[in-house]
Amino acid sequence: MNNKIKIERAVNNITQDQLAQLVSVTRQTINAIELKKFVPSTVLALKICKVFNKPVEEVFFLEDEDFPTQIN
Amino acid sequence: MGTTLLFHNRFKKIGWILILISIGFQLYPMIFKKYLITRYVYVPVLFSNYMFKNFRETFSIHPHDIDLTVFLTLSILGCLLVIFSKEKIEDELVSNIRLTSLIWSVLISYMLFLILTMTIYGTTYLLVCLFNIYTIPLVYLIRFNFLLYKNSFYTRTDEQ
């Protein structure tokens, strides 16, 4: 799963630290999500989207590798 | 959301103190050639017997050497407190790292135990069985703290 958190942060002029405080997690967690090293829970994803005032599918989106290989 | 089966963060410090005391308790007689406490103390016994003595007791109170008992009690309690205490900010990334470290430690511990079971024989094997209880906490603590450090390192080096 990919995300646009870094872009949204830049648009809203919010640092990783500020976003982390707004959603009650550590800065490390925000950084890990941005680097695609950690997939957040639905609750955390919704909290992040609420900060940016955007629907969840505009910030988080699935990639091809998230779908299992289809057998023909 | 979060793991509820965890102690408050302050218990982590108490855990480390207990571990240090237990290590000191073992090192003191080695360095100063005398014991910190009286070793033979009257203790409640559920079952006890010795290999080369015709001696056996159940459900009684008898004097016993409590050197190893004190060391194991303090160190196991210390390890439990350190492992099962929350971080200052316990979020879902920390919970994820906790789970990964636990899986790693259980896997490594049993793999090591399996290898040692197949290669070590005689009375030394009893020591293997005894000290194998520390493999899980040891591997867990190394893995958990390494992953936390790695994450904070990446965050420090990453731009805001």
B47-94 pLDDT tens trace: 888 777 777 778 888 888 888 888 899 999 999 999 999 998 889 999
Q: Given CB atoms, is A44 within the 8 Å cutoff of chain B?
A: yes
- Shortest Cα distance, chain A CAs vs residue B145, angstroms: 14
Residue A6 in any domain: the answer is yes
Residue A66 in any domain: the answer is no
Residue A71 in any domain: the answer is no
Residue A12 in any domain: the answer is yes
CATH number for the domain that contains residue A32:
1.10.260.40
CB atoms within 10 A of CB B8: 9
Q: Given CB atoms, is B151 within the 8 Å cutoff of chain A?
A: yes
Q: Is this complex scored with an ipTM above 0.85?
A: no
Please check the confidence at residue B118 and state whether its pLDDT lies above 90.
yes
Residue A18 in any domain: the answer is yes
Instruction: Retrieve residue A36's tokens.
Output: 């695609």
Q: In which domain, by residue range, is A24 found?
A: 2-58
The per-residue pLDDT for B2 is: 53
Q: Given CB atoms, is B38 within the 8 Å cutoff of chain A?
A: no
Q: Give how many domains chain A has, as a whole number.
A: 1
Looking at chain B from residue 42 to 71, which residues have their Cβ under 8 Å from any Cβ of chain A? Answer: none
Closest by Cα among B12, B128, B129 to B79:
B12
C-alpha Rg value of chain B to the nearest Å: 20
From chain A, the residues in CB contact with B151 under 8 A are: 28, 31-32
Residue A51 in any domain: the answer is yes
Distances B8 to B15, B78, B85, B115, B125 between C-alpha atoms, Å = 12, 14, 6, 37, 37
Tens digits of residue pLDDT in B19-53: 999 999 888 888 887 777 777 888 888 888 877 77
Residue of B91, B95, B99, B146 to mutate, testing the A interface (most A Cβ within 10 Å of its Cβ)? B91
Residue A70 in any domain: the answer is no
Residue A64 in any domain: the answer is no
The per-residue pLDDT for B40 is: 83
Q: Given CB atoms, is B159 within the 8 Å cutoff of chain A?
A: no
The pLDDT confidence band at residue B12, using thresholds 50, 70 and 90, is very high
Residue of A21, A31, A42 to mutate, testing the B interface (most B Cβ within 10 Å of its Cβ)? A31
pTM: 0.83
